[in-house]
A and B are shown apart, each in its own frame.
Chain A
Amino acid sequence: MIEIIAITLQFFIFHLFFSTPLNTLNYKKLNLQLSLNYFDIIFCNIIFHSFILLIISFLKIDLLVYFITILIISLVSNFSWLKKKLFQDINIYTIIFPVICLSIFFEIAHHAVLGWDGSAHWFWKVNFFYQDQDIESYKNLPLSQYPHLGSYLWSFFWKNSLLNYEYMGRLFIPYIYVVSLFAICMDIKNRLYGILFIILLLSASYDIFLFSGYQEYITFAYICFLSKFIFSDKKNYNDKLFSDTIILIGSFCLLWIKQECFFYVIFLNFCYIFFVKNKNSEKIIFSTILIFLLMLYLLIEKNFKGEVGYQAKLDLSNLEKFKELNLVAIYIIEITKHIMIAFFKYPILILNILLLFFNPLQNKNEYRFILVFFLLNFIFLYGVYSIHPAPLEEMLPNTIDRLLFQISSIGIVFMGRWVNKINN
């Protein structure tokens, strides 16, 4: 019973921790006309705390002090919200949200094991931070090329959990996954449609295996939320400033989750700059800051790890094998075959493709955005597997489905808008 209670309390700890600095009362002081819902605000806080914790990961700051301080600030700042808006903010979404989170938490606690990548790669980093090791020795870990923010957050919540069980730390992953889905669904005016849409998304994207220490759901949630901000209706300068800040900070945090996120961030922001932003001056300023952040990431990585490397050496000389033309055909067929298999494994990908084929939005720029984003990603996939030195049969079955799954959340934003349109 103690474990059940501890897991339940862990949910409230996450919720309290991510309920500050913004809440539904104080965000209005920012003079925003963006219609942010309750879960949008929580995700903004998730991005804020991820960014702060990313900075702290390079410093020697007592994490317990930070954790307790945030909880106290959150309690104090949300006290007036509790008094004024608690009953106003209660609706079917806020009732169902904890039920879904806790259900996933219990499933993770039941299985409580780490998958291959979890124990072979990520948990080394988690354990490293959990045991208060110096970031300078991070380069000595197995596969130290992998970025560390996901593992750092995992160890942070593990260290500050009620029970000293490793899985308590990684419960933040389903939490942010569910927040990202609710951030989309809460905008649907018809609540019945909204609930049905959540159930559809959960059925199409839920995979307990990916909660066994993998980081894919973090990327999934971040891409989902950043896309939502990219397409938010910005009415004034403050809206634009706020959205761009969230997109840039979110993109910077995303760089530190997984290696492939470097490419996702470039593709996502490239599409944002070319298909969403109108003014040239805004495009130039945004691109300049983005390039600065990408350079900063590379610089810090190089400084700490000596080089920015990948799991295997991606060398252009690997392309020499394509002198035999039949190998080109074999590669294309094999990669395409596994892409098709991935569609059956994660049906959310099918929803994305349906969106591309039927284009229910009928907005040229949105359509171009999603089309170009997927095209760039497919070019990336075919390119990476062609250049990778490992044999295809070894790599494809275990990785391509996850690479595709991470970007599949981009379609959710458009689907949510479409469901809203049907309702109207």
Chain B
Amino acid sequence: MNKKIINNKSILILLTIFFILIFFKTFNNVYVIERNNYEKRLTKNYGYCDKQGYGFVRSTVNKNKIKENIRIINNFKSLAAIDVLFYNFNKNYNENYLILLNYENKTSPIIFNNIIYEIFDNYNNQCFLLKKKKND
């Protein structure tokens, strides 16, 4: 009798655990975490040069060794800005640089808010790291 109760309990526990793992898609989640590191997942979810453009911002900041904060402007206004992910409270904005995301532009220089910028880094003519043009 006791054995039967133990068996019933164990089966209930196992079934519940199995249901929970399926309900939360745990197997798939573990698989994705295992196969893609954190940066890869962030780039996939925030987009490289689409959506919030996390991938482009991360790579261009690292590539160009920019230590200060940069203003990021995303043409997709319906998405929240991701400046805060890169923001350092102990540093100021470097006003010489500007990142434009999801912009259609093929010509250089770019005039933005009446300021002339030259293209410093470009991905697919859609995402740009701009540098303020010096007056000759």
User: A residues touching B (Cβ–Cβ < 8 Å)?
Assistant: 1, 3-4, 7, 92, 95-96, 99-100, 102-104, 106-107, 109-120, 123-124, 127-128, 131, 133, 163, 165-166, 191-192, 195, 199, 202-203
Contact = CB atoms under 8 A, between A and B. Distances in A.
Given A103-B21, A112-B41, A195 B12 contact: yes
B92 interface: no
Contacts of B25: 107
Given A116-B80, A128-B89, 11 more contacts: A92-B12, A96-B13, A99-B21, A106-B26, A110-B29, A115-B80, A117-B80, A119-B80, A119-B84, A124-B87, A127-B89
A119 B81 contact: yes
27 contacts: A4-B30, A4-B33, A92-B9, A92-B12, A95-B17, A96-B13, A96-B16, A96-B20, A100-B24, A103-B20, A103-B21, A103-B23, A103-B29, A106-B24, A106-B33, A107-B24, A107-B26, A109-B41, A110-B28, A112-B45, A114-B80, A118-B80, A119-B85, A120-B80, A124-B84, A133-B89, A195-B16
Contacts of A104: 24
B80 A4 contact: no
B122 to A, nearest CB: 25
Interface in B85-116: 85, 87-90
Contacts of A191: 12
A126 B39 CA distance: 20
Contacts of B46: 113
A92 B80 CA distance: 42
Interface string B23-48: 11110111011100110011001100
Contacts of B13: 92, 95-96
Contacts of B30: 4, 106
Interface of B: 9, 12-13, 16-17, 19-21, 23-26, 28-30, 32-34, 37-38, 41-42, 45-46, 79-82, 84-85, 87-90
A109 B29 contact: yes
Contact of B16 (A3, A110, A199, A203): A199
Contacts of A4: 30, 33-34
Nearest to B28: A110
A272 B90 CA distance: 46
Contacts of A120: 80-81
A185 to B, nearest CB: 12
Contacts of B28: 110
Contacts of B45: 111-113
A11 to B, nearest CB: 13
B33 A113 contact: no
Contact of A203 (B17, B23, B79): B23
A96 B89 contact: no
Q: What 5 A-B pairs are tightest by C-beta distance, nearest first?
A: A103-B24, A106-B29, A110-B29, A113-B45, A119-B80
Interface residue SS majority, chain A: helix
Nearest to A92: B13
Contact of B32 (A110, A113, A116, A165): A110
Contacts of B41: 109-112
A56 B25 CA distance: 38
A112 B42 contact: yes
B24 A112 contact: no
B17 to A, nearest CB: 5
A395 B21 CA distance: 36
A195 to B, nearest CB: 5
A192 B84 CA distance: 46
Contacts of B80: 114-120
A165 B46 CA distance: 15
A112 B12 contact: no
Contacts of A124: 84, 87
A296 to B, nearest CB: 28
B32 A100 contact: no
Contacts of B17: 95-96, 99
Q: B33, B45, B46, B82 — which one has the most chain A CB atoms within 10 A of its CB? A: B33
A131 B84 contact: no
A124 B89 CA distance: 10
Given A1-B34, A92-B13, A112-B41, A131 B82 contact: no
Contacts of B89: 127-128, 131, 133
A123 B86 CA distance: 11
Nearest to A133: B89
A192 B12 CA distance: 8
Contacts of A133: 89
B67 to A, nearest CB: 15
